[in-house]
Amino acid sequence: MAKTYFPNVDKIPFVGTSSLKSGLNYHYYNADEVIGGKKMRDWLRFSVAYWHTFGQQLNDIFGDGTAIRPWNGLTGMDLAKARVEAAFEFYDKMGVDFFCFHDRDIAPEGDTLRETNKNIETITDMFVDYQKQTGMKVLWNTANMFTNPRFVSGAASSPFADIFAFAAAQVKEGLDTAKKVGAENYVFWGGREGYETLLNTDMLREQEHLAKFFHMAADYAKEIGYTGQLLLEPKPKEPMMHQYDFDAATTIAFMKTYGLDGTYKLNLEGNHANLAGHTYQHEIRTAREAGLLGSLDANQGDKLIGWDIDEFPSDLYEATLAMYEVVENGGLGKGGLNFDAKPRRSSFTPEDMFYGHIVGMDTFAAGLKVATRLHDDRVFDDFIKDRYASYDEGIGASIEAGKEDFKSLNDYIIDKPQSALLAATKSGRLEELKDTLNHYIIDTLK
């Protein structure tokens, strides 16, 4: 019998909502259940993040790792290989269809890039074998260009040309890997693409380098026939004081400035949205309306903490509104929901790795159910349509059609009394809408 890494956990079954108590089972995620014309697994396309689940030791800046993991004690390639075996056992038991990884999560670095790439290829050979046996797919892979000290001042935006060259070669290998493992997307999160102080930074030159880098990556992907979607992942701060891909709107402006919006889309993360002073829904809406919604990193932050804590999502309200955007978008296409999340430092057993994903998957599955009803009943759509109705006829329609100017609008409005202007406005009914939203959540999930 093959070695078992998680002997205390069986395949996670769907048990429904008959029992309130959590356990190693799903209450809402029922992979093959059809919601709004599509299976849950196809709406949600859940993915396990290799770095958090198989790399994290749960250390924080004040304390060592607490994680008890079946591979503890192993090092180098032995560790890397054990993690692959454990990972595929974990995916099978969770019943997820996708995983994501950084190059440096899966294999140790050698002294040269050539040696490092050899290590990667040994591990991705194992991935491909397991993928053939299990049908597991890669949602995306990416390059870690932020941990090693060579990236102290960035990668593609580093002031030092050799570091730019190294980053290019690293992403070249990353795109070859993406093609090899059939990754449906390739992600760029600008780990240290930003600055600490403008006193020593040529911001324009750094951003031009970054754009050039993304063009080179897209060109190389095309050259090798890699057809996955290329994604940029915004984050406003941490590790750099200021990150260039600050939020969805800033990244979209950057993409449009440098002609990247035809080749790249966005990967949006809940906790990153909060750090930028936005809701997760705001970021997803911004990308959706620009036609640039690519994929989602599902996690949550905390109102009381100002940094990235990558907590597994459990906030039904936030998940409902995120899924509402996804449903309005007709799904995520090649994208999915990647749990860029880890258990808390005090949740250190192997079983907590399962519980973390269970709460995340059940939260988003529940969110999908509520969102589908909100969409089908046109709860917000009808309200919003009515709120803007004055643009559907008369002067509003004429403004939208470009038939008016400041002079014509002045003539139209100049003699209207204040009472008529006030009568032209309507209550936004925020409290009523929130109450309705609560009713939908409670009724759908009962």
Residues found near Co ion in the complex (CB under 5 A): 269, 297, 340
Residue 98 touches ligand XUL, criterion: CB under 6 A: no
Q: Is 242 an annotated catalytic residue? A: no
* Helices assigned H by DSSP within 276-427: 280-289, 316-328, 350-376, 379-387, 394-400, 406-413, 418-423
**Residue 269 C-beta: closest distance to Co ion, Å:** 4
From candidates 103, 193, 269, 283, binder to ligand XUL by CB under 6 A = 269
Nearer to ligand XUL, 266 or 374 (CB): 266
The Cα–Cα gap between 257 and 255 comes to: 6
Nearer to ligand XUL, 176 or 297 (CB): 297
DSSP assignment of 296-320 equals EE--B--TT--S---BPP--HHHHH
Nearer to ligand XUL, 83 or 102 (CB): 102
Distance of CA 301 to the CA centre of its chain: 13
Q: Quick one: what does residue 235 bind among ligand XUL, Co ion, none, with the CB cut-off 5 to 8 Å set by partner type?
A: ligand XUL
325 within 8 A of 372, measured Cβ to Cβ: no
263 within 8 A of 218, measured Cβ to Cβ: yes
The Cα–Cα gap between 355 and 357 comes to: 5
Q: Quick one: what does residue 325 bind among Co ion, ligand XUL, none, with the CB cut-off 5 to 8 Å set by partner type?
A: none
From candidates 26, 28, 186, 189, binder to ligand XUL by CB under 6 A = 189
Nearer to ligand XUL, 97 or 308 (CB): 308
Residue 340 touches ligand XUL, criterion: CB under 6 A: yes
DSSP assignment of 224-290 equals HT--SEEEEE--SSSSSSEESS-SHHHHHHHHHHTT-TTTEEEEEEHHHHHHTT--HHHHHHHHHHT
Residue 235 touches ligand XUL, criterion: CB under 6 A: yes
**Residue 153 C-beta: closest distance to ligand XUL, Å:** 18
- Subset of residues 291 to 320 that bind ligand XUL, contact rule: CB under 6 A: 297, 308
Q: Is 154 helix (H, G, I), strand (E, B) or coil?
A: coil
From candidates 233, 245, 247, 362, binder to ligand XUL by CB under 6 A = 233
Catalytic residue among 27, 102, 209, 272: 102
**Residue 307 C-beta: closest distance to ligand XUL, Å:** 10
Catalytic residue among 105, 176, 297, 308: 105
Q: Is 357 an annotated catalytic residue? A: no
- For the chain, how long is the longest CA-to-CA vector? 87
Query: Residue numbers of the site for ligand XUL (CB under 6 A)?
Result: 102, 142, 187, 189, 233, 235, 269, 297, 308, 340
Catalytic residues: 102, 105
